[in-house]
Amino acid sequence: MIGRFVEIADRVHVLREPLLRVNVTLVVGDGAALLVDTLSTAGQATELAAAARAVTSHPWTLVNTHHHFDHCFGNATLAADPPRRVYAHERTAEAIRERPDRLRREAYEEMRAEQPALAEELVDIELLAPTHTIHSEAVLDIGGRRVVLRHPGRGHTAGDLVVHVPDADVLVAGDLVEQSGPPAFEESYPLQWPDTVAELLRMTTPATVVVPGHGDPVDAGFVRAQHGQLVELAWLIRAGHTGGAPPERVAAEAPFGARAALYAARRGYAELDGTT
């Protein structure tokens, strides 16, 4: 069971899926609602729909924060029948629309060792691409509530999207911010990620509730601290590349742990070499 939504601010609710600790955010307005991210499988998405219906009967619009399976593979269940609008950055939409077989294969490979049952559900799942794409920013009216969708820059992926609910002082950060573990760098842009999080911080106040992609909601202070670690990591990558150090040496000295930092170092070196 994926659990239930918990209200974290005025009519803004968060559900944390227990397997991967993915957060889904539900914003409720007058006669309309917004669901941010759709989880991994048809089964999870069906449970997610029931959890959302326990909060509101209003029709929903969807947002995908990025193209990774645990944030968008539930689209078809939640938006196909009846048809719903699905918003995402243009690079996210492109990945889901043009590379569905690759996304399914990568998701299966990522999960087959630790979560084999989940991996099997990912093999043949129907993927539904976003219907509305965003280049830099869009403003939605969700039942009288202003909700801002913004691409603050490259970081976790090329197509990260954050969702700002100004009247509740809530910022849904997707995997640009992580609480339950280190950031994931496999498809990242570690040299650009610090600037992206700096842009995200400009959208916060000291009281802002930030919903990370995974884990517990945090405050701007937590995001600021993670930004400092990303700045340090980017500096180490640049210094290591300039000095001809292998990525493994950079990873050994970097924040976030050697395994995560090794992905970051390799991606950063590829950025500097112009091969990303």
CATH number for the domain spanning 182: value is 3.60.15.10
Assigned domain for 105 exists: yes
Best CA proximity match to 127, nearest among 61, 78, 176:
78
Query: Is the pLDDT score of 276 beyond 90?
Result: no
> Measured between alpha carbons, how far is 241 from 17 in angstroms, rounded to an integer?
39
* The pair of three-digit structure tokens given for residue 13, joined into one six-digit string: 């609710």
pLDDT recorded at residue 130: 98
pLDDT recorded at residue 1: 86
Assigned domain for 59 exists: yes
> Measured between alpha carbons, how far is 15 from 4 in angstroms, rounded to an integer?
6
> Measured between alpha carbons, how far is 74 from 78 in angstroms, rounded to an integer?
6
* The pair of three-digit structure tokens given for residue 7, joined into one six-digit string: 């209200």
pLDDT digits (tens, 9 = 90+) for 28-70: 999 999 999 999 999 999 999 999 999 999 999 999 999 999 9
Query: Is the pLDDT score of 273 beyond 90?
Result: yes
Q: Is the dihedral of CA 129, 131, 132, 135 positive or negative?
A: positive
Assigned domain for 264 exists: no
Assigned domain for 256 exists: no
Distances in Å between the alpha carbon of 80 and those of 15, 140, 266?
22, 20, 38
Assigned domain for 58 exists: yes
Q: Mean pLDDT over residues 84-90, rounded?
A: 98
Residues written for the chain: 276
Split into its structural domains, the chain has a count of: 1
Average pLDDT, the chain: 97
Q: Is 22 helix (H, G, I), strand (E, B) or coil?
A: strand
Assigned domain for 138 exists: yes
Q: Mean pLDDT over residues 149-178, rounded?
A: 98
Q: Mean pLDDT over residues 84-102, rounded?
A: 98
pLDDT digits (tens, 9 = 90+) for 223-264: 999 999 999 999 999 999 999 999 999 999 999 999 999 999
Assigned domain for 233 exists: no
- Domain holding 114, by residue range, is 6-219
Assigned domain for 258 exists: no
End-to-end Cα distance, the chain = 39
The CA dihedral of 38, 41, 46, 48, to the nearest 10 degrees, is: -40
Q: Is 72 helix (H, G, I), strand (E, B) or coil?
A: helix
